[in-house]
Amino acid sequence: MPWRLFCVDEDESIPVNPDAFSGLVFMGGPMSVNDTLPWIDQECALIRAAVDQDVPVIGHCLGGQLIAKALGGVVTRNPVKEIGWGEVVVSDNEVARRWFGDFAGHSFLSFHWHGETFSIPPGATCILSSAHCRHQAFALGPHLAMQCHVEMVEDMIAHWCETGAHEINASIAKGMISVQPSEEMQSDLASKLAAMHKVADCIYSCWIEML
């Protein structure tokens, strides 16, 4: 599939409308959608335009929060930080079955790294939750917003553990049981990633079919 990356953190211009694209993917980042960064409102406007024109959008963590904000939801501090591997439960409803297939009604191990959470926008359906974060994903037609990180690969986890070591250690020092030590996050990675990628394949295949 042809694709183009827009590096908003390097001040690359954001498209004003989605006309040139069959779908839009919004990735994660260390910032908050509530920060006063010029590209946040621009991305939210692009998301609203895409939804109005039935151009599928999908968001990961910060990207999911951007979609929530753009569609009328709010992003607030989560009760705890959620960093590392944790079980998420797939809802057993029609919308969840559309996105997760046979995984609906079951749980799977996903990767997490967030301190904020989104509300469910009007008209959307919550399809994923966890013990530490009630709203892990919602869907609205062909649009999907996720708080968790099903897109992770081994190198990304290693890099995040290195660059986020201070955040990990500070959270653990505060007694947050929802945050894992780096060593635990990186143990048995091959089997954890293989299992999570089966779920990711199901999600992405569903989204791609609607492009």
Q: What is the DSSP string of 71-134?
A: TT--EEEEEEEEEEEEEEEE--SHHHHHHHGGGTTSEEEEEEEEEEEEPPPTT-EEEEEESS-S
Name the phi and psi angles at 160, rounded to 5: -65, -40
User: For residue 120, how many C-alpha atoms fall within 13 Å in the half-sphere facing its CB?
Assistant: 15
The token duo for 63 is 């990207």
Instruction: Give pLDDT, residue 59.
Output: 98
121, 122, 159, 145: which is closest to 61 by C-alpha?
Answer: 145
Spatial distance between the Cα atoms of 185 and 154, rounded to a whole number of angstroms: 10
**Strand pairing partners for 24?**
57
**pLDDT at position 9, please?**
86
Q: For residue 172, tell me if it sits in a domain.
A: yes
In a domain, 129, yes or no: yes
Q: Is residue 4 part of a domain?
A: no
Structural domains of the chain, count: 1
Q: Indicate whether 16 belongs to any domain.
A: no
Q: Does some domain include residue 69?
A: yes
| Cα–Cα dist 56/37, whole Å | 24
| Within a domain: 10 | no
State the CATH number of the domain containing residue 179: 3.40.50.880
**Does a structural domain hold residue 28?**
yes
Please tell me the predicted confidence (pLDDT) of residue 1. Answer: 86
Q: Which pLDDT value is given to residue 140?
A: 98
- Residues of the domain holding 185: 21-209
Q: Model's pTM, two decimal places?
A: 0.96
In angstroms, what CA-CA distances link 40 with 43, 58, 61, 111, 136? 5, 16, 14, 24, 21
pLDDT per residue as tens, the chain (211 positions):
899 999 998 999 999 999 999 999 999 999 999 999 999 999 999 999 999 999 999 999 999 999 999 999 999 999 999 999 999 999 999 999 999 999 999 999 999 999 999 999 999 999 999 999 999 999 999 999 999 999 999 999 999 999 999 999 999 999 999 999 999 999 999 999 999 999 999 999 999 999 9
Q: Identify which of 206, 200, 23 has the alpha carbon closest to the alpha carbon of residue 99.
A: 206
